Structure 1
Amino acid sequence: MTPLASRNTPTASDIGRPESKWLGPLVLLGPSGIWLGLLLVMPALVILELSFVPGIRPGDVVNPSGLDNYTQIFQPIYLQVIGRSLFFAINTTIICLLLGFPVAYWIALLSPARWRNLLLLCFVLPLWTSSLLRSYAWITILRPTGVLNTLLASIGLPPLTLLNSSSAVLIGMSYSLLPYMVLILYASLEKLDRRLLEAAADLGAHPSEAFWKVTVPQTLPGIAAGSLLVFITGLGDFVDPELLGGASSMTAARLIYNQFLGATQNWGFGSALSMLLILAVSLAIALLIKYGDSTSKR
C-alpha cells in the first residue's frame, strides 16, 4: 500500500468514533447557532407565548388561555390594515422589478466592463445613509412647498399633492428597496449564457422573443429572489408609511408598534400580529426554496 493510500484510508479508531463526523460542523456552526438561538428563536418563542394571552399588558402574569388575539385579527378594521400593507409591499415589488430589471440588464450586458463596479457602487450609495434621512429627504421634495412643486411652478405646471398619500409611500419604499432588486438581478444576469442569445438571433428570433424565451427563463430564480426580498422588506417597513403616508396609511408594522409602545399597550394582540407576519414570511421563503430550485434546474 502506498503512503498516499494509507493516509486516505480510515483507521479503526476513526471508524469507531462516529462523533468525528459531526464534531467539526458543530464547532463551526456552534457560535452562530447560539447567537441565533438567543436573539431570534427565543424571542420568537416568547412572542408566540404572549400571542395566546388575551389583553396582556406590561407586568401582567403570562397565562396562555386561547386564540382570542388571533380571532381579533379578522375584524374588518384590522383586515383593512393588513390589506394596505400587502398593497404597499406588492406594488413596491412590481415597481422595483419594472425599474430594476432594465438597469441591471444594461449594467450586466451592455455597459463597459470597466465601469460596472462603479455603476453598482452608485446604486449602493443610498444604502449608506439612514432610511430615516432618506424619508426626510423625500418629505423635502414632495411637500406642497417642496422641490418638486417649485420646479413645476417654474415651468408653468400646476402643483401636485403627493405628501401624506399612498403615492408618496410607494415612491419612498421603491427608492429605498430598488438597490436590493438591482443587485440581485445583476448577479443573475451576469451569469446569463449569451451563446443562447446568439443562437436565438441566428435562428431568426426577434429580440423581444429572445428576451422572453431565453433571458427571462434563465434569470427567473434571480427575479424570484429579488421580488421576495423586496416584498418581505416592504411588508415590514415602518419608516416610509409613517413619515410619508400620514395618519391614513396605517400598516401592520405601525399597528404592531402601537400595541407594544403606543397608547394601546396590548402585547397579546401585537404578538399575534407579529406571528402572522412571521408565518407569511416563512411561507414565502419556503415557496421560493421549493419552486426556485426546481425552476433553476430546468
Structure 2
Amino acid sequence: MKAKKLIHGGSNKSVFKKIANAKYLYLMLIVPVVYVIIFNYLPIGGIAMAFQRYTPRNGMFGSEWVGLYNFTRFFESPVFWDVIRNTLSVSLYALIAGFPFPILLAVMVNHCMLPRFKKGVQTITFAPYFLSAVLLVGLVTQLLSLKSGIVNSGLEQLGFERIDFMGVSKWFNDIFVWTGIWQTTGYSAIIYISALAGVDPSYHEAAKIDGANLWQRVWHIDLATIRPTIVIMLILSMGSILNVDFERAFLMQNPLNLANSEIISTYVYKVSVATARPDYSFGTAIGLFQNIITVILTLTVNKVADRLTGEGMF
C-alpha cells in the first residue's frame, strides 16, 4: 500500500512539475478556453427554450414548458416544405458544382513548374475569401444591375434583352452558388495543396519512366494520395447540407426572389429576431431540428464512406 501511495504521489508531482514548466503555455490557453466556454458551452443550455414558450420576462426557469409544440408548429407550417426545398436545392447545387473546383485548382497549382506564376495564382484565387459578405453582395449587385450593370450592358451590346438577375427568383441559386465558388475556391484549395505536398516526387518520376501521361499520374498518384482528405471534406460538406451561408443569402434576398431565397437560416432570423414579437422558442426549435439533421447526415455519410472507400472521420 505504501509503495502504491509513493508511486501515485510521485506521478502527481511529475504532472504538477510538467504544468509548472509549461505554465506560460497554459496561461496563453486561458483566453481561448474561456471564450469556448462562454460562446460554445454555455449557450447549450439555451436548447431548453425549444421546449418552452419562452419569454424574456419569465426567463428560462419561469417559462412554460410545452414539449414538442414548437417542432410541430414548424412541421405543420405552410412554409416548412418551401424553406426545406430551397435550402436543399441551393446546398446540393453548391456541393455538386463547387466541390471539385478546389481539388482541380490544387492539382493544377501542384503541377505548375513556374514558382512565381504558382504564387500569383494562389494569391489571386485566395484573395476573394477576405471580402466581407456585404462587399461581395454589393459588388455582385452592381455588376448585375438591370440599368447600369456591366453584364446587362454587355448583353445589350450583343443584341439581347436586359435581364433583372436580382429581381427574378430563378436566378437566385445560380448567382448564390457561383459567387460562393468564386469566393471560397482558393481558400478550400489550401487543404488539398497541403495534402499534395506530401506526395513523393519519385512516384511521378517512376510513372514517367513507365510511360504514364499527366492524366494517369494525376489519377493514380495525386488523387489516390489525397483521397482520405477528399472523403473527409465530402463528409463535412454533406453533413452541413442544411447550413447555407446566412449572410450572403439574407443580403441577396428581396421580395422579388423570395420564392427561392427563403432558406432555413433566413426564416429563423425573421421569426426569432427581425419581428415586432420575437418568438425565441420557435427559432430555437428550428435551429435544433437543423442541427439534429446535420449530426444524422454526418454520421450516415461517414458510415457509407467508410464502407465504400475504407476512409472515414472515425
Distance 1:78 1:33, change over 3 A: same
The Cα shift of 1:245 comes to 4.3
Distance 1:94 1:269, change over 3 A: same
> Who is 2:153 aligned against?
150
Paired residues of 2:273 and 2:280 also in contact (CA < 8 A): no
The residue type equivalent to 1:67 in the other structure is L
Deviates more, 1:244-253 or 1:190-199: 190-199
Report the secondary structure of 2:165's partner residue. coil
Deviates more, 1:248-257 or 1:98-107: 98-107
> Who is 1:43 aligned against?
43
Paired residues of 1:197 and 1:210 also in contact (CA < 8 A): yes
TM-score when scaled to structure 1? 0.78
Given candidates 170, 191, 197, the residue that maps to 1:190 is 197
Separation (CA, whole Å) in 2 of partners of 1:179 and 1:73: 38
Paired residues of 2:55 and 2:63 also in contact (CA < 8 A): no
Given candidates 135, 138, 141, the residue that maps to 2:143 is 141
The Cα shift of 1:130 comes to 1.6
Distance 1:218 1:17, change over 3 A: same
Paired residues of 2:144 and 2:150 also in contact (CA < 8 A): yes
Paired residues of 1:96 and 1:181 also in contact (CA < 8 A): no
Report the secondary structure of 1:74's partner residue. helix
Report the secondary structure of 1:39's partner residue. helix
The Cα shift of 1:177 comes to 2.6
> Who is 1:74 aligned against?
75
> Who is 1:64 aligned against?
65
Paired residues of 2:106 and 2:189 also in contact (CA < 8 A): yes
> Who is 1:116 aligned against?
118
Distance 1:296 1:268, change over 3 A: closer
Spell out the pairing of 1:1-298 with structure 2 (5 A cutoff). 15-20=8-13, 24=19, 28=26, 31-46=31-46, 48-54=47-53, 56-60=54-58, 61-75=62-76, 77-145=79-147, 146-164=149-167, 165-205=172-212, 207-227=214-234, 232=240, 235-246=243-254, 247-248=258-259, 249-263=261-275, 265-283=278-296, 295=311
RMSD: 3.5
The Cα shift of 1:252 comes to 1.0
Separation (CA, whole Å) in 1 of partners of 2:182 and 2:242: 11
Residues matched between the structures, number: 284
- CA-to-aligned-CA distance 1:262-290 (integer Å, 9 cap, x gap): 22622112111222333344456667888
Separation (CA, whole Å) in 2 of partners of 1:19 and 1:31: 26
Distance 1:188 1:250, change over 3 A: same
Separation (CA, whole Å) in 2 of partners of 1:135 and 1:153: 23
The Cα shift of 1:203 comes to 4.1
- CA-to-aligned-CA distance 1:72-94 (integer Å, 9 cap, x gap): 33336313312322222222133
5+ residue gaps in structure 1? 1-11
Paired residues of 1:57 and 1:265 also in contact (CA < 8 A): no
The residue type equivalent to 2:246 in the other structure is F
Separation (CA, whole Å) in 2 of partners of 1:189 and 1:267: 46
Report the secondary structure of 1:135's partner residue. helix
Distance 1:137 1:193, change over 3 A: same
Report the secondary structure of 1:167's partner residue. helix
Separation (CA, whole Å) in 1 of partners of 2:154 and 2:191: 34
- CA-to-aligned-CA distance 1:176-200 (integer Å, 9 cap, x gap): 3323322222222232334334444
Paired residues of 2:273 and 2:279 also in contact (CA < 8 A): no
Report the secondary structure of 2:311's partner residue. helix
Deviates more, 1:244-253 or 1:221-230: 221-230
Paired residues of 2:246 and 2:266 also in contact (CA < 8 A): yes
5+ residue gaps in structure 2? none
Paired residues of 1:181 and 1:226 also in contact (CA < 8 A): no
Separation (CA, whole Å) in 1 of partners of 2:129 and 2:14: 42
Distance 1:137 1:230, change over 3 A: farther
Paired residues of 2:137 and 2:251 also in contact (CA < 8 A): yes
The residue type equivalent to 2:50 in the other structure is S
